Amino acid sequence: VGLAVLLVVLVVWQFAPLPDFILPPLQILKDFFQALGTAELYEHVWASLKRSLPGWVIGSALGATLGLAAGVARWFDRMFSPAVFLTYPVPKIVMLPIFMIWFGIGDLSKVLIIALACFYPVFINAYYGVRQTRTILVWSALNMGASRAEIFRRVVLPSAAPMILASLRVSLALSFIVMFAAEMINARSGLGHLTRMAENSLRFDLMYVALLAIAILGYAGDRLVRYANRRLLAWQEQPA
Amino acid sequence: VSERFSRFVLPFALVAAALAAWEAAARSGLWSKLLFPSLVNISREFVLFFSRPESLLEAWVSLTRALGGFALAAVVGVLIGMLMGRSKRVAEVLDPFFSGTYAVPKLALFPIFIFLFGIGSLSKVALVFLECLYPIVVMTYSGARNVNKVLLWSAQNMGASRAATLRRVVVPATAPFIFAGFRIAVPVAMIVVVITEMVSSADGLGYLVIYSLSSLRTDRMLAVVVVIAILGYLLDKAVVLARDRLIYWEKLDTYYV
């Protein structure tokens, strides 16, 4: 049923009278395949990925590490968590201009702003993942003579893993949004820049090519993370 | 480490250390004033912000854009999520659409929205609406889908009509999920408003940030950033407050992200 509705929408879209900034789907596909044959598109995609992926990895790794630490160590929790929860609802993208002043207008400031945005959801999920560990499991492990390190590795980590992995999906989506925003605001390459350039020069075909490229990237990344989730959490009965 | 020290001093230790380090960097003279404006200057600009009617107007513009898009998304999103949760047919049509495009940055549509709705508020509100719609629909759907079967059966057994079941069973059971969706959507609304104002606008707080930066007034820019931060924080608090009033039977202990 879903497929049929999608088809109807596409057909109507193709044949409806539209203003010239909304291209029909077949035209978009044609432009997209044409762009696939040029080096330009790959350069922009590569420039975008070069910013978003390191940012995602750094931010998520830091978030998971510090979140686990805050969940385990009370003094660290009390020192660190209030600052995190206080700044959580703040849109992190406003830090971009400051980062640009500190770290230059190159890739470093963009990678760092993406890392900052990715840090929050992963930290919070890792933190609550640890806090949700069932005390009875910890007691049993203690009772069986497990050391602190063993308890962390065998009890706490597995019970926090589903929430951490779920947050990786959120932070990946976030990394693409922030990457795109940062490139629209200030960049000389990347999909965000391409969109902006296309908009300014009224190259609607290019605009849709960039749009389709970012959509495919976002979708593929999401599928990959979800696939990794299922593989890593195979021992879990509930789907994450 | 004593308990009292850990409870009352540690929460402020990090923030205080960060602020002190900032001020030290500002005064050391190693970096230009542009890189680390002194906290004194930032707070002066912060106070000035509230004494200037035109900057308050910019804040108002941003706030109405964020809230307008969010409110629209709340109404439409809850409706769609409820329909998807209570009707298999609707879910079959809409679920592939929402889960397929969930991870796609809707921000990429902004240029098209500018052509569609113009460069003013409408294109921004439309984008806020679209970005907020997803978390609200997804959360409402997952809540409405998983209403406890026993409760539904009991209601039917006691002769409740469909409308009564919906109002007395489904809506209260879904409400916590709806608010979890709101809680995700509110920061998203702020993010989108600020980004769109930074990218293309002649008003709003995001524009003020870019404008202060290009006139090399980083102290003013940071003051605006603080204002945006406070706004984001207050909006989140408002959602939590509303949630605690409306869903008094369930305490908020998990932080959905």
pLDDT at position A54 is 94
B144 touches B84 (CB < 8 A)? yes
Q: Which of residues 210-239 of A touch B (CB under 8 A)?
A: 210-211, 214-215, 218-219, 221-222
- Closest C-alpha to B196, from B116, B129, B107, B106: B107
Interface predicted TM-score (ipTM) over 0.85: no
**pLDDT tens across A14-23, in order?**
777 777 777 7
Residue B232's contacts (CB-CB under 8 Å, 6 or more residues apart) are A89, A90, A91, B186, B187, B190
pLDDT at position A1 is 66
Which two tokens mark B58? Answer: 């910019």
Find the closest chain A residue to B231 by CA distance.
A90
pLDDT at position B257 is 33
Per-residue burial over A219-237, b = 16 or more CB atoms within 10 Å of its CB, e = otherwise: bebbeebbeebeeebeeee
pLDDT at position A55 is 93
B121 touches B69 (CB < 8 A)? no
CA-to-CA separations, A22 to A19, A25, A26, in angstroms, rounded: 6, 9, 12
A31 touches A209 (CB < 8 A)? yes
The answer to whether the CB atoms of B111 and A196 lie below 8 A apart is yes
Which two tokens mark A232? Answer: 């890593």
Find the closest chain B residue to A91 by CA distance.
B191
pLDDT at position A240 is 39
Coil, helix or strand at residue B137: helix
Touching check for A87 and chain B: CB below 8 Å? Answer: yes
The CA distance from A143 to A141, in Å, is 5
Q: In chain B, which residues have their Cβ closer than 8 Å to the Cβ of A78?
A: 6-7, 10-11
The CA distance from A13 to A8, in Å, is 8
pLDDT at position A236 is 66
Coil, helix or strand at residue A123: helix
The answer to whether the CB atoms of B102 and A167 lie below 8 A apart is no
Q: In chain B, which residues have their Cβ closer than 8 Å to the Cβ of A121?
A: 257
A72-76 own/partner pairs: CB under 8 Å, 24+ apart: A72/A130, A72/A152, A72/A156, A74/B6, A75/B1, A75/B6, A75/B10
pLDDT at position B256 is 38
pLDDT at position A106 is 82
The residue type at B134: Y
The answer to whether the CB atoms of A210 and B108 lie below 8 A apart is yes
Q: In chain A, which residues have their Cβ closer than 8 Å to the Cβ of B235?
A: 89
pLDDT at position B128 is 94
Q: Along chain A (240 residues), what's the average pLDDT of each consecutive run of 10 residues?
A: 78 76 79 81 87 93 93 85 82 86 86 93 89 84 85 85 86 89 84 85 83 87 86 64
- Secondary structure in 3-state letters for A173-189: HHHHHHHHHHHHHCCCC
Which two tokens mark A109? Answer: 């400031």
Q: What is the pTM of this model?
A: 0.84
**Could you list the pLDDT tens digit for every one of the 257 residues in chain B?**
577 777 777 778 888 888 888 888 888 877 777 788 888 888 998 998 889 888 899 999 999 999 999 999 999 999 999 999 888 888 888 888 888 888 788 888 888 888 888 888 899 999 999 999 998 998 899 888 888 888 888 888 888 888 888 888 888 888 888 988 898 899 889 989 998 998 877 888 989 988 888 888 888 888 998 899 889 889 988 988 888 888 877 765 544 33
The answer to whether the CB atoms of B100 and A219 lie below 8 A apart is yes
Q: CA-based diameter of chain A, in Å?
A: 74
